[in-house]
Structure formats: structure tokens, C-alpha cells
Amino acid sequence: MAATSGLDYQRPFSTEDFRGNFVWTKVLTRKLESDLYHACHLDELRDILDDNSLGLRSEWSLKLPAHGLCSVPGTWTGLNYYSRGNLYGPCLINFPLSVLNGKSFMVFKRKGSDRNRYFFAQYESRIPVYSFEKNLWRRVRASSYFNEDDDGLLTLKRGAIYDIILTEPISIKNAIIEGVNHPRCIPGKCDGMTSLKSTKVVISIARRRFNQYLKKSDFYNDFLEQFPDLEGEEITLPSVE
């Protein structure tokens, strides 16, 4: 997703959008009780699985006060789960929020015609880039961008969109991958896909990978030496209790 057009999520970030910076903490993860989402297409999912991590697949742009427009690699993820369908891809990777623990973010806010958009862009350097009302490198409380209930738990603000831009790869070791309804494709890579079809495709990818892992394992070779008649048999995975 290159940040080149005039849409809220595509325009380069600038001083006017900047609100401050914060570090994502374990307390924030615990209070938010959410997941981090990244939608993609089938070819992209295969690459992600081969790398065993979500790499820097896109770009995002900033208007730097001193140097002008700058585009850098990144990966767009988010906190919103779109129950009616994801428009960015039929394959959804759900990460535990703990993958963000300890990472530093710049906060940008934009008010659209019908909703607020919050952007948390990873930036690990301590060199200030922007100021807010003449306050250079303002520190903010991340919790102020969410609703807080009486128990101290946080929820997304109603109707708000939360985009999180990562500038470092993250492991998919603890991620959950599923097929979802993809009614329309904003990137224009496909004509859309029903949840039933996307689930079947993800299962097909998972089966192939499972077979690859199994054939490479010592257990598989030892087992076939003991029971050679089972070679080539279909395997039904047991339920995990």
C-alpha cells in the first residue's frame, strides 16, 4: 500500500497529523485484550509462511519538516476485525498483541468524513521528527486513544480505525491463520472470495505444508520403517484437547 493518493490511509503523514509518541507495554497489551490483524492474498501468504515471519511488504510515507517527502518500507497491520469481510485479502493472520510489547510508535490522527483514524507507526530511534503545539517529541498515553471501562480494560473507540505500521518483521510462530470473507479487493489483486472458498484454500496450503514438515521429520521416517504399508495413506488430524 503505497502512500501516494489523497485517501486518509494513503496520504503521507505530516506535522499536522502528529500527536506524539509512546512505547507499547505489557500493561497496554493486557488491558486491550485484542489481536493484531494482517490480511493478504494466497501468494503473499505462501511467502510469509516460507519466511516464517511477516516481512516489510509495503511502503508508507512521511513529510519531513526539513527534508520533504520520504517513503520507507513497512507493513500495514491493524486492530480492527471486519466481521462483514476484509477488503484487503482472503487470508487473515491474527497475531497476539504481545508481538508489539516494547516497540516504540509515533501517533498520527486524522478525522475523516465519518470516523477517526489512528495510525501508530513504529519508530525506534530517539531522534525527534515532529512537534505537537511546539512540544518537541511529545509523549502521550496510548490508553487515551481507546475507551476505558470501570475495570480499567480498553476497547476500540466506536467507528474508529486503528492502523499499525510495522518497520521490522514479526514472527508468525504464535499467529493464527484463517480464511475470511473477502467481498471486494481494495488492492485490486483479485475479484473477491467467499469465506467458504478462502477457508478451503488456506486448508489446502496448510495440508501441503504439513506434509512437507512431516516428510522431513525423523518421526515420519522411523514410523514408516515400522509400518511401511501406511506410506501414502491420508492422515486425519485428531482434535487437540
Tens-digit pLDDT profile for the chain (241 aa)?
333 344 666 788 988 899 999 999 999 999 998 899 999 999 999 999 999 999 998 889 888 877 788 889 999 999 999 989 999 999 999 999 999 999 999 999 998 766 789 999 999 988 888 878 777 888 999 999 999 998 889 999 998 999 999 999 999 999 999 999 999 999 899 999 999 999 999 999 998 888 888 888 888 888 888 888 888 777 777 776 6
Is residue 54 assigned to a domain? yes
Is residue 165 assigned to a domain? yes
Is residue 227 assigned to a domain? no
Domain containing 134 equals 18-200
Q: Which residues contact 79 (CB under 8 A, 6 or more apart)?
A: 32, 34, 35, 36, 37, 156, 162, 164
- DSSP per residue over 37-68, as a string? EEEE-HHHHHHHHHHTEE---EEEEEEETTTE
Is residue 43 assigned to a domain? yes
The predicted model scores a pTM of 0.86
Is residue 221 assigned to a domain? no
Is residue 24 assigned to a domain? yes
Is residue 60 assigned to a domain? yes
Is residue 223 assigned to a domain? no
Domain count, the chain: 1
